[in-house]
């Protein structure tokens, strides 16, 4: 399943963002951030404690089922009073949730998390980025593994000179995707596809900001 991977912002940054805002309503989410333990019920409770010890008044808190869903407005309707009393909403969801809530409630929103990437749980407690939604998919030639996403430099013609023991030059915990692609293509007997020169990538897949309208049926 696609997951939005988040990490809590540094304490100092949250303090700065909440400066002068004394009454806070905290919102978590029951999906991705619960899984990544960044905005589920325990984290929302801990945030309430943290804010209280810093002299903030928490007017209320909740964990919405799916923050990025359009039904979030209705769910939050039950907290109207507590939300109205707050100077700001501190939102412990990914940026999709923060922006959905901001659009729906027209209230000052403060994200408590940074959204790192849209990823996949590849082992228990381990999340990997596998697609950057570039709009010009090339994985038909790379054994179904995306180098645009998984090579630190997004290289499409093979590894750079920084590859080391199958790991990336920036982090020994990150695989060199070109070792993975090489192994996969060897397994499949399709290594010729790695020998093929790939021209500079087309970055015009969908110019930012992405927008897509279904054609009339």
Partner 1 sequence: MPTKFKEALESGKFVVTSEVAPPKGTNLEKFKHHIELLKDKVDAMNVTDHQSSVMRYPSLGGAMMVKEMGGEVILQMTCRDRNRLALQADLLFASSRGIQNVLCLTGDSVMLGDHKEAKSVFDMDSSQLLKTVRTMETGKDLGGNELDGGVSFCAGAIVTPEADPLEPQLIKFEKKLEAGAEFIQTQAVYDLDKFKEFMDYARQFHVKILAGIILLTSAPMARFMNKNIAGVFVPQDLIDEMASAPKGQALAKGIEITGRMIKRIHEEKMCDGVHIMAIGKEEKVPDIMEAAGLI
Q: Does 155 bind partner 1 (CB under 8 A)?
A: yes
Residue number with CB closer to partner 1 (28 or 159): 159
Q: Which is nearer to partner 1, 66 or 155 (CB)?
A: 155
Provide the minimum distance between the beta carbon of 211 and partner 1 in the complex, in angstroms, as a whole number: 24
Contact string 95-134 vs partner 1 (x = CB under 8 A): ----------------------------------------
- Which residue's CB is nearer to partner 1, number 71 or number 170? 170
The reply on whether position 156 binds partner 1 by CB under 8 A is: yes
The window from 33-41, 57-65, 78-86, 159-167 that contacts partner 1 (CB under 8 A) reads: 159-167
What part of residues 174-203 is at the interface with partner 1 (CB under 8 A)?
Answer: 178-179, 181-182, 191, 194-195, 197-201, 203
As measured in angstroms, the least distance from the Cβ of 139 to partner 1 is 17
For the chain, give the DSSP string: --EEEEEEPPHHHHHHHTTT--EEEEEEESSHHHHTTSSSHHHHHHHHHHHHHTT-EEEEEEEES-TTSTTHHHHHHTTHHHHHH-SEEEE-S-HHHHHHHHHHH---EEE-EEEEEEEEEEETTEEEE-----SS--GGGTTT--HHHHSTT--SSS--TT-BTTEETTEEEEE-HHHHHHHHHHHHT-THHHHSPPPSP---SSPSSP---PPP-
Q: By CB under 8 A, name the binding residues for partner 1.
A: 152-166, 169-170, 178-179, 181-182, 191, 194-195, 197-201, 203
């Amino acid at each position: 399943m696609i997951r939005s991977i988040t990490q809590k912002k540094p304490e100092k940054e949250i303090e700065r963002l909440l400066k002068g805002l004394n009454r806070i309503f905290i919102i978590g989410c029951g999906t991705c951030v619960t899984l990544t333990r960044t905005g589920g019920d325990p984290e929302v409770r801990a945030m309430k404690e943290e804010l209280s010890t810093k002299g903030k008044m928490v007017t209320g808190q909740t964990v919405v089922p799916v923050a990025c869903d359009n039904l979030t407005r209705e769910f939050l309707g039950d907290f109207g009073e507590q939300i109205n009393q707050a100077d700001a909403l501190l939102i412990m969801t990914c940026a999709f949730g923060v922006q959905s809530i901001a659009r729906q409630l027209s209230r000052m929103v403060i994200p408590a998390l940074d959204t790192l990437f849209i990823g996949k749980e590849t082992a228990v407690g381990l999340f990997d980025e596998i697609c950057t939604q570039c709009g010009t998919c090339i994985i038909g030639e790379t054994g179904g593994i995306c180098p645009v996403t998984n090579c630190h430099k997004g290289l499409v013609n093979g590894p750079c000179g920084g590859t080391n023991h199958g790991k990336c030059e920036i982090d020994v915990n990150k695989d060199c995707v070109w070792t993975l692609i090489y192994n996969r293509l060897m397994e499949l007997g399709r290594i010729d596809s790695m020998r093929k020169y790939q021209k500079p990538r087309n970055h015009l897949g969908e110019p930012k900001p992405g927008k897509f309208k279904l054609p009339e049926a």
